[in-house]
Chain A
Amino acid sequence: MPTLENTTQEVLTLAEQHFKLAPGSLSATDDFFKKLGIDSLQTLELLSRIENHFNIELPDYEVQGVSDFKTLAERIQSRL
């Protein structure tokens, strides 16, 4: 199983690809609503990409209230 650190890095890379950002431009503690200027629907689109990548299902309630990549990675890690 990958470490939380690895998972976090993969999430950051996926988000950078999804929103067409330069590699390394996001960090674990970034608030994605603020940093990316996205709304809740765009977050759901990113989640779908993340689910496909990790081959998991993240129910909507699992990510309710999550706004930073670190916490998101923790939720993913618990389902790997």
Chain B
Amino acid sequence: MLDLAKYSSIGAALKDAMERFAAETCLIEADREREKARLTYAEFDAQALPFAEAMQHVGFSPADRASIIMTNQSKWLISAFAIFYSGGVLVPLDYKLTPGEHWQLLQHSNAKILITEYPIWRQLSAAPARAAATNLQTVLVTEAPPNADLAGAHRWEEFRGSAAPVFVPRERKDIASIVYSSGTGGRPKGCMMTHENYLEQCVALTSLYPFWPGVRYLSILPTNHAIDFMVGFFGSFACGACVVHLRTLRPEFVRDAFTKYKITYVSLVPLVLKNLQKGLETRFAELPPAKRKVFDFLVGINKALTKSHPRLWLSRRLLKQVHAAFGGELQAIIVGGAFTEPQTLQFFYDLGIPVANGYGLTEAGTAITVNDLKPFRADTVGKPLPGMEVKIVDPSLDGVGEVYVRSKTVMSGYLNEPELTAETIVDGWLRTGDLGKFDAQGHLHLSGRKKNMIVTEEGKNIYPEDIEAAFESLPAKEVKEFCVFAANYIWPKRSMIGEELIIVIHLENNQSFTDQLKQEIIQRNNRLLNYKRIHGLVLHDQDFPRTASLKIKRNELAERLSKLDRDRVILPL
């Protein structure tokens, strides 16, 4: 692994990785059963540098911003390296957002260059919101068909310079990327992550889970996500490891990839991990009784022998078939993005497959705590990573309070939001808005949220304010005002799972809640992506409390609603 203490920027570290690991494979890209690309570090470098030169040639200057909206593929990483090589700021956006949301964030981030895939660009270029992104000068599109109308974009594959690009050094405190933790449809929260944030996070994570040349990391989470950016790009490359990209997430191809590419590490969100568990449980249940008995006996032995720490070589021998289905070389599954139920973690550990469970948020530079497996604990989110100071503020009698974090990995602030930044980072401490407590062994237990938001099992952070746009212009003669909340924000629950959003509606005087209005709400709700939808409705018969500038006082409204019986007032949608 590179000695990251010596570097001041991601670009400088990656540049050295290209030389140091030149002959190692850094990237494999597969589309179903077809392998589309296999690159060594030297080949990767040879693709990225002419691209960087072409970017510089069209006026991409140090600290300029370039956005990537792509599925996980080789050109994502090649483009990102070219951006860092040129001293630019990367703005990675979730390709699953709508065109309107993409344009909103492209405008907010002031991106000068956009790098995207043809099918995404087809939708983006046709969207009326395009006019808003006035700073955008160059659009590069990958994999466009030969006669396609590019609507002003250039082909990524032909965007090549002939001279050597200039390497632009950056300082540790400079912004490396702007990562949106939320804000589509509402107030965009663009986390400004510095080069130091990434360099320090990488050192901390690899101290617990080392990567090395020969490691194959299966990149399934989108690379715009903080976890995959670190583990499936920068961290892997800083260690000379190989990233395997799949162009489809169909479960059968993901399963095949484990065996075909002998995967060493993979990061998953809880939803996918639970799905894997379900699949395995079904297969175990189909075993003939005698075989099942033997299997259960072997699992029992494995559990007893791995109590204090994992013994991979032993588990692979005892439970050969299970491990063979995962390729036989899996070191650990990294799970993140949302809270994972202990019984799922325990299920895999009992099979001899360690799960690196942790807790983090984009604002903190990805991970804050990670389970170090010494011993494995399914009931906690682990201990703070090296370099992380974590404290519990205003604890109640049972020790539960808000989790605060101070570290070199904490973002420098939210883009264009000094007030929000000042509320979130106080005296160097990041207020996470999550509730938890430490146990005697120094493990953090999470037990709910203080903030008005939910996290889905797919690892999506959903802020109620972002959902409200979908319900604007509900019939004004019927609906006087409305507000969306995370139900647990109003009625706190000591739980991190099953979180739901609700809409609170105040009808106009003399109006009743008609079936027609209900259908209208359902219709609008269905237009939202499935994980963003609200699950219930509360009818409220008083005016909402408002500020002098007529903004809803959400805290006050939530406090008022909290006096009502949750189970009785929420009408299911």
Contact = CB atoms under 8 A, between A and B. Distances in A.
Do A and B interact with each other, yes or no?
A: yes
Interface of A: 31, 33-34, 39-41, 44-45, 47-48, 57, 59-62, 64-65, 67
Nearest to B71: A61
B530 interface: yes
Contacts of B95: 61, 64
B474 interface: no
Contacts of A62: 119
A61 B458 contact: no
A67 B530 contact: yes
A20 to B, nearest CB: 14
7 contacts: A40-B271, A41-B272, A41-B275, A59-B248, A60-B248, A60-B249, A60-B250
B526 interface: yes
B32 A61 contact: no
Contacts of B252: 48
Contact of B247 (A33, A60, A64): A60
B40 interface: no
A65 B529 contact: yes
A60 B119 CA distance: 11
Contacts of B529: 65, 67
Contacts, number: 48
Contacts of A67: 526, 529-530
Contacts of A48: 250-252
Interface in B83-137: 95-96, 98, 117, 119-120
Interface in B127-166: none
Contact of A65 (B98, B119, B272, B458): B98
B120 A61 contact: yes
Given A40-B458, A65-B98, A59 B247 contact: yes
Interface in B528-549: 529-531
Nearest to B275: A41
B95 to A, nearest CB: 7
B460 to A, nearest CB: 10
A31 B526 contact: yes
Given A48-B252, A65-B96, A65-B98, 4 more contacts: A39-B458, A59-B119, A60-B250, A62-B119
Interface of B: 32, 71, 95-96, 98, 117, 119-120, 247-252, 271-272, 275, 457-458, 526, 529-531
Nearest to B523: A31
Contacts of B272: 41
B250 A47 contact: yes
A60 B71 contact: yes
A71 B459 CA distance: 26
A34 B526 contact: yes
Contacts of B71: 60-61
B530 A64 contact: no
A57 B250 contact: no
Given A61-B120, A62-B119, A64-B96, A40 B251 contact: no
Contacts of A57: 32
Contacts of A33: 530
A57 B247 CA distance: 12
A60 B526 CA distance: 20
When A and B form their complex, which 7 residue pairs have the shortest distance between CB atoms, in order from nearest?
A: A33-B530, A41-B275, A61-B119, A44-B250, A31-B526, A60-B248, A48-B250
Nearest to A57: B32
Nearest to A61: B119
Contacts of A40: 271, 458, 530-531
A32 B258 CA distance: 30
Contacts of B249: 44, 60
B275 A61 contact: no
B101 to A, nearest CB: 11
Contacts of B120: 61
Contacts of A34: 526, 530
A37 B95 CA distance: 24
A57 B250 CA distance: 12
A44 B285 CA distance: 23
A73 to B, nearest CB: 17
Contacts of A47: 250
Given A57-B32, A60-B71, A61-B120, A45 B248 contact: no
A62 B275 CA distance: 23
A59 B275 CA distance: 21
A39 B526 contact: no
Which of B71, B248, B249, B531 lies at the interface centre, i.e. has the most chain A CB atoms within 10 A of its CB? B248
A61 to B, nearest CB: 5
A60 B457 CA distance: 20
Contacts of B98: 65
A45 B271 CA distance: 14
Contacts of A31: 526
A34 B525 CA distance: 11
A47 B252 CA distance: 11
A64 B70 CA distance: 13
Nearest to A64: B96
Contacts of A44: 249-251
Nearest to A44: B250
B71 to A, nearest CB: 6
Contacts of A60: 71, 247-250
A24 B98 CA distance: 32
Contact of A39 (B32, B96, B250, B271): B271
